[in-house]
């Protein structure tokens, strides 16, 4: 507590640093207890093993290499707007990109196939 101009100013972080630490622990505890309903699907996609050439080709053709939603809107030869890639909003984006990567690696490494056509 500081006394200035007949007013009391309290600095609880300095007087009792455990109060701040308790607040951080409580926030972390709340973040950890949040239920993630997509976690089983994420785990399944991450554990999916590519062992079939036909399945690997299907995955490489189905999952696009670039976000198909990103566009430039051009009017009379001038760019008037840009739609950013929205794929990052997909909660399973990282799992799909990883699955595509594993499929391409299988095609290139195991099957010896040229994967430039999928890029």
Range of the domain at 73: 39-118
Q: Is residue 67 part of a domain?
A: yes
- Which of 99, 82, 111, 81 lies closest to 45 in space, CA to CA? 99
**Is there a domain that residue 97 lies in?**
yes
Which of the two residues, 95 and 24, has the higher pLDDT score?
A: 95
Residue 33 located in a structural domain: no
Asked if the structure places residue 2 within a domain, the reply is: no
Asked if residue 114 is part of any domain, the answer here is yes
Which pLDDT tens digit goes with each residue over 65-116?
Answer: 888 888 889 999 999 999 888 888 889 999 999 999 999 999 999 999 999 9
Cα–Cα distance, 15 to 13 (Å, whole number): 6
11 part of a folded domain: no
Q: What is the rounded CA–CA span in Å between residue 8 and residue 46?
A: 57
β-sheet bridge partners, residue 72: 82
Inside any domain, residue 8: no
Residue 18 lies inside a defined structural domain of this protein: no
- Please tell me the total count of domains within the chain: 1
Section 39-54 average pLDDT: 93
């Amino acid at each position: 507590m500081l006394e200035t101009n007949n007013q009391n100013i309290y600095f609880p972080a300095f007087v009792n640093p455990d109060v701040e630490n308790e607040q951080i622990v409580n926030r972390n505890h709340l973040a950890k207890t949040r239920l993630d309903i997509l976690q089983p699907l994420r785990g399944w996609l991450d554990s999916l093993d590519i062992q079939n050439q036909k399945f690997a080709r299907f995955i490489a053709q189905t999952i696009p290499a670039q976000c198909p939603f990103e566009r430039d809107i051009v009017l009379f030869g001038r760019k008037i707007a840009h739609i950013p890639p929205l794929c990052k909003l997909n909660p399973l984006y990282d799992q799909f990109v990883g699955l595509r990567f594993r499929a391409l690696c299988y095609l290139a490494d195991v099957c010896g196939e040229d994967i430039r056509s999928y890029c």
